[in-house]
Chain A
Amino acid sequence: MTAEGGIVKRRKLGKAAAWLGVILFLAWLPSFLPFSVEWNIGSWLDPIWLRLFGHSSGIETYRIDIGLHHATLAALFVIMAMGLNLSIGFAGLLDLGFIAFVAIGAYIMAIELTRVPLNSDSVRVFSAWWAVIPLCIFGAVLVRVALGATCLRLRGDYLAIVTLGFGEITRVALKNDLFGLTGGPDGIFLSPRVMPEFFSDPEPLYYLAAALALLSCFTLYRWKNSRAGRAWEAVREDEVAAAACGINVFRAKIWAYGLGGVFAGLAGALYALHNTTAHPTDYDFIESVKVVVMVVLGGMGSIAGVAFGSVVFILLLEVLRGLAHYRMLIFGATLVALMVFRPQGLAGRAGK
């Protein structure tokens, strides 16, 4: 065996060990949750507050609760972030309306669960919940490909604003009870009666989401260095040069964009089950921004980085929850600071 072969083998072994470690950690995670910390902050907050506002803050302790549903949420956002990473990170297509496709998945799931009748044994006539997931994915991909086919010829910033616009159109349409199916501004509530039995306990959903998040990461990891992955990278770096090398730029873009829909639809279906509702305000512009931030936070195009970034981001939002609307204030300021001081993301390497 040559020395080089040894290194490659060791590297492969190291990667396998890392995957195994993550899998074991995720499998054991539920036994550590819920987890909560409490700080007594009134003693130092009150004097400041009194001086600034003239009355006591009324806050004595600061409490952070991390439950299993946060882990599930983080896993779902990892799936979404992977889908967006495919567009932004791999192919360089800025998408500011990603959450619209998640909404499509979620609403398909919710409509299936509430509208499709049950038979006398309380079993859904047409499909089980897991059989709906492919439909959610199909719906999201279909709409995404349709939008991509019309808009992917646009230049970067124009694409960004068109996707943002599409996100808003979707939200407005859902809010206006599209086809009489989406339930208007109240959304669709999944009552315990229609929720699949499988999810009466929160753990199965967590394991499912975590497994699919891992699968998403693994898929992207496999795609990154595939023929298509290299084509995407070429298109991202320089469209003209990529075209000169014989890459069909438009086809590469539409593949990257459409495949992002797979992750969106999948995450959407589970997101509806996780929230036990499909509600238009869950799919605001700010949610798209969150997913974009996860991708940028982790480092565009990096897979471990984006996964890590999504988890950190969800945890951060949870930790800051006690601050009410100061949370988004801090979020905004952090975003600016991050871009100024570390534009390549937490895990990304310094610029070329």
Chain B
Amino acid sequence: MQQALNGLTLGLLYALIALGYTLVYGIIELINFAHGELMMFGAFFAYSFCVVLDPPTAAGMATLGGISAFIAVSDRVEGVRSRGEAVGAGLGAALVFASFAYHGGLHRLPLVASVFAALPYAAVLAMALERIAYRPLRGQDRLIPLISAIGASLFLQNLGQVEPWFFGTERKSFPETDWVKDQVLAYHGVSVSTLQVVITVVAIAMMAGLYFFIHKTRVGTAMRATAQNRKVAALMGIDTDGVIVLTFALGAVLAAVGGVLYALYLGSIYPFIGYMAGIKAFTAAVLGGIGNVPGAMVGGVLLGVLESVGAAFIDPGYKDAIAFAVLILVLLVRPSGIFGTGPVEKV
């Protein structure tokens, strides 16, 4: 019971990260291997705002954020195509520069504020990634962007290890507060920690927000149209490039929040944090039927619960293998995932 509850929290985290995979896949049919690294950098940005802010880290973050922001908006400077995007880019840049200014004083932020401060960084990083590594490859054989994504993932993972600007290679505890382990509820040997409540509330709120965004706003409608048929969407006057960039940014924001919560859940942070979590979140997305937003949520939760319960029943050493075994079994029965609509053969 306790394991199932722990699994539920873990699963919600997977789901939060899986959403980024599934959103991107839904629109451009690309497995964004670097998504786990975006999550890692999101968590790292929050960590540096919250725990360490020595001058090299601040310089590293400012440089990375600045370069990313520049790349992300560079081809938009001439003739900005939509007002929303200009506002978005401007807001992002303003936030980034506000954070730079804040770095000057090297203050530490409280945890919640540092998460919010980290979001624009993660978003512009994802936008720059799309611009450099994926956009030039659109329309190529599917394998080509996939290799590029793996390359980007390796690049970011190792960039995170560069000292003294970023992480270094060691594990660091995150953060130095103990409220996360406090129990708020204990009933017949089943206990719930504050962190678990926080994860549940935040994850569900973000998923609900995403659902609302996709289904009730104009931009969300544009996203769905682009996912259905990019060419026709472009003919209808939708700025499809902008929508794709926005999707990446949205995925990165979800991943950054997921990354911070995941780091809190583990109690530590390290450059490889995104690797396993990323692969498992992707597995969750495939499990639910990739490209399907509710599917990613269900897949994530299912995976988390099965993993925790399975590890308790079988052997904790095989914890990392359970997710993939479940994936293979599910795909045997339903080749396009639980909620997948069946393979679309384009002849």
Q: Do the two chains belong together in a single complex?
A: yes
Q: What is A's interface to B at a CB cutoff of 8 Å?
A: 53, 88, 94, 150-151, 153-158, 160-162, 164-166, 168-169, 172-173, 175-176, 238, 240, 285-286, 289, 292-293, 296, 300, 325-326, 328-329, 331-336, 338-340, 343, 351
Instruction: Contact check, A328 vs B158: say whether CB atoms are below 8 A apart.
Output: yes
- Asked if A154 and B150 sit within 8 Å, CB to CB, the answer is no
Q: A162-B331, A166-B328, A176-B318 are in contact. List 20 more A-B contacts (CB 8 A).
A: A94-B143, A150-B332, A151-B332, A155-B335, A157-B29, A161-B31, A162-B328, A164-B324, A165-B325, A165-B327, A172-B318, A286-B154, A332-B151, A332-B154, A332-B156, A332-B157, A335-B150, A335-B152, A336-B155, A339-B148
Q: A161-B31, A162-B327, A335-B148 are in contact. Are A240 and B347 (CB under 8 A)?
A: yes
Residue numbers in B under 8 Å from A343 (CB-CB): 137, 140-141, 144
Q: A325-B158, A336-B133, A339-B137 are in contact. Are A158 and B147 (CB under 8 A)?
A: no
Most buried by A among B132, B144, B147, B162: B147
CB-contact partner of A161 in B148, B283, B318, B343, under 8 A: B283
- Cross-chain contact A160 with B324 (CB below 8 angstroms): no
B321 touches A329 (CB 8 A): no
**Cβ–Cβ < 8 Å partners of B145 in chain A:** 339
Select from chain A the residue with minimum beta-carbon distance to B25: A157
Contact of B317 among A158, A168, A172, A286 (CB under 8 A): A172
**B262 in contact (CB, < 8 A):** no
Given A332-B151, A332-B152, A339-B145; A151-B158 close (CB under 8 Å): no
B345 interface residue (CB < 8 Å to A): yes
- Answer yes or no: B301 CB below 8 A from chain A CBs: no
* Chain B residues near A (Cβ < 8 Å): 25, 29, 31, 132-133, 136-137, 140-148, 150-159, 161-162, 164, 169, 279, 282-283, 286, 290, 315, 317-318, 320-321, 323-325, 327-328, 331-332, 335-336, 343, 345, 347
> Contact at A160–B146, with CB atoms within 8 Å?
yes
Closest CB-CB distance, A344 to chain B, in whole Å?
Answer: 9
Contact of B147 with A292 in the complex, beta carbons under 8 Å: yes
Q: How far is the CA of A332 from the CA of B156 in the complex (A)?
A: 8
Is A340 a contact of B136 with CB atoms below 8 Å?
yes
Q: In the complex, A333 Cα to B29 Cα: how many Å?
A: 22
Interchain Cβ contacts under 8 Å between A and B, 26 examples? A151-B328, A151-B331, A154-B331, A154-B335, A155-B336, A161-B283, A162-B331, A166-B328, A172-B317, A172-B321, A173-B321, A176-B317, A238-B347, A289-B154, A293-B147, A300-B143, A325-B169, A329-B155, A332-B152, A332-B153, A332-B156, A335-B148, A335-B151, A335-B154, A336-B152, A336-B155
Let me know if B317 and A332 touch, CB within 8 A: no
Q: Closest approach, in angstroms, between the C-beta of A337 and any C-beta of chain B?
A: 8
CA distance in complex: A175, B319 (Å) = 12
Q: Is the CB of B148 within 8 A of A336?
A: yes
> For residue B25, which residues in chain A have a CB less than 8 angstroms away from its CB?
157
Q: How far, in whole Å, are A332 and B129 apart by their CA atoms in the complex?
A: 13
Please state if B331 and A172 are interface contacts (CB–CB under 8 Å). no
Residue of B nearest to A161 (CB): B286
Q: Ordered nearest first, which 4 A-B pairs have the shortest CB separation? A: A335-B151, A332-B155, A165-B324, A332-B154
* A158 and B151 form a contact (CB under 8 A): no
Residue of A nearest to B285 (CB): A161
- With beta carbons under 8 angstroms apart, the residue of A53, A94, A328 that contacts B146 is A94
Residues of chain B within 8 A of A332, CB atoms compared: 151-158
Given B137, B151, B320, which contacts A168 in the complex, CB threshold below 8 Å? Answer: B320
Taking CB atoms, residues of chain A closer than 8 Å to B29 are: 157
> CB-nearest residue of chain B relative to A241?
B347
Q: Are A168 and B279 in touch, CB under 8 angstroms? A: yes
Q: From the candidates A240, A329, A351, name the one contacting B159 in the complex (CB within 8 A).
A: A329
Residue of A nearest to B31 (CB): A157
Instruction: Give Cα A292 to B144, complex, Å.
Output: 11
The main secondary structure of chain A at its interface with chain B is: helix
Residues of A within 8 A of B324 (CB): 164-166, 168-169
Which of B151, B290, B315, B325 is close to A334, meaning CB atoms less than 8 Å apart?
B151
- Inter-chain contact B147/A335, CB cutoff 8 Å: yes
CB B280 to nearest CB in A, in angstroms, measures 10
Of the candidates B146, B154, B290, the one whose C-beta lies within 8 Å of that of A331 is B154
- State the CA gap A72–B2 with chains docked (Å): 52
Q: CA–CA, A168 to B145, complex, Å?
A: 22
Assess the A157–B161 pair: CB atoms within 8 A: no
CB closest chain-B residue, reference A167:
B324
Q: With the chains together, A84 CA to B345 CA distance in Å?
A: 25
In the bound complex, CA of A339 to CA of B142 (Å): 12
Task: Look across to chain A and name the residue whose beta carbon is closest to the beta carbon of B30.
Answer: A157
Q: Are A157 and B151 in contact (CB under 8 A)?
A: no
A160 close to B335 (CB less than 8 A) = no
Q: Determine if A172 and B320 form an interchain contact, defined as CB atoms under 8 angstroms apart.
A: yes
Most B CB contacts (10 A, CB to CB) among A88, A165, A286, A343 go to: A165
Inter-chain CA distance A96–B156, complex, in Å, is: 20
B278 to chain A, nearest CB (A): 11
- Distance in angstroms between the alpha carbons of A329 and B156 in the assembled complex: 7
Question: In the complex, what residue of chain A is closest to B343 when comparing beta carbons?
Answer: A155
Enumerate chain A residues within 8 angstroms of B347, measured Cβ to Cβ.
238, 240
CA of A52 to CA of B159 in the docked complex: distance in angstroms? 16
Asked if A336 and B151 sit within 8 Å, CB to CB, the answer is yes
- Min C-beta distance of A233 to chain B, whole Å: 14
Q: How far apart are B184's CB and chain A's nearest CB, in angstroms?
A: 34
Q: Are A150 and B146 in contact (CB under 8 A)?
A: no
**Other-chain residue from A157, A169, A176, A339 in contact with B290 (beta carbon distance below 8 A):** A157
B141 touches A53 (CB 8 A): no
Contacts of A158 in B (CB 8 A): 286, 331, 335-336
The closest CB in chain B to the CB of A164 belongs to: B279
Chain A residues near B325 (CB, 8 Å)?
Answer: 165, 169
Q: Which of B144, B323, B325, B347 has the most CB of A within 10 A?
A: B144
